[in-house]
Amino acid sequence: MEFEAVIRSRRSIRRFRGEGIPDSLVAELVDLARHAPSSMNGQPWHFVVVRSEESKARLAEIKNRYCPPEKRAYQADFLRRAPLIVLVCVDRERSYGREVENGVLATATLLLAAHRRGLGAVYMSAYAADAPGLAEEIRQLFGIPAGVVPITMIPMGRPGEVPAAKQLSNLEKMIHLERF
């Protein structure tokens, strides 16, 4: 798929077919994700690949528990049914105070790379500044060292749904020439 088409057609996928995803394909995605920009070129990333049913269920439970009331429509139960979940983590020491940005940029690259290879995925936060317990519980669950912070969790697999068309916000209202 041509690069622009990858960007334009990527959508969040929350239903997956049962098909397994080989480790080699996950390694290709991580190989691409590590090309993302990072503060001071720290490349602080660690990627934890989660396939165990028990771990997926624990993640869903933690994510649901930290879900604020206004976002209850986005229940995390579907995490249990994803063939795998990639936790994108960053090493604080190599993040230069930009943990979230570093993690999010690698995640964006990972999402596009996954879509380009026909995989469905969706962005989910593993870190919330106003709820530090979320990242902390995830860190403990997966034996992540104290100086490494989980930033996102990305369930992925072969898509089992075609999302309804998305209405994009108006381009003219977003662009401001010289001044807002």
14 binds ligand FMN (CB under 6 A): yes
Q: How many of the other CB atoms lie within 10 Å of CB of 178?
A: 4
User: Applying CB under 6 A, what is the total number of residues that bind ligand FMN?
Assistant: 10
In this chain, which stretch among 1-9, 30-38, 123-131, 167-175 interacts with ligand FMN, using CB under 6 A? 123-131
Q: What is the DSSP string of 100-114?
A: HHHHHHHHHHHHHHH
Instruction: Give the nearest distance from C-beta 178 to ligand FMN in angstroms.
Output: 28
Q: Backbone dihedral region of 40: left (phi > 0), alpha (psi from -120 to 50 degrees) or beta?
A: left
Residue whose CB is less far from ligand FMN, 12 or 39: 12
Cα angle, residue 125 at apex, residues 130 and 172 outer, rounded to 5°: 95
In this chain, which stretch among 15-23, 32-40, 43-51, 121-129 interacts with ligand FMN, using CB under 6 A? 121-129
Contact 85, 143 (CB under 8 A): no
Site for ligand FMN (CB under 6 A): which residue of 28, 46, 55, 123? Answer: 123
Site for ligand FMN (CB under 6 A): which residue of 62, 116, 125, 150? Answer: 125
Site for ligand FMN (CB under 6 A): which residue of 12, 43, 55, 64? Answer: 12
Query: What's the N-to-C CA distance of the chain in angstroms?
Result: 35
| φ, ψ dihedrals at 129, nearest 5° | -60, -35
115 binds ligand FMN (CB under 6 A): no
List contacts with ligand FMN (CB under 6 A): 11-12, 14, 74, 122-125, 163, 166
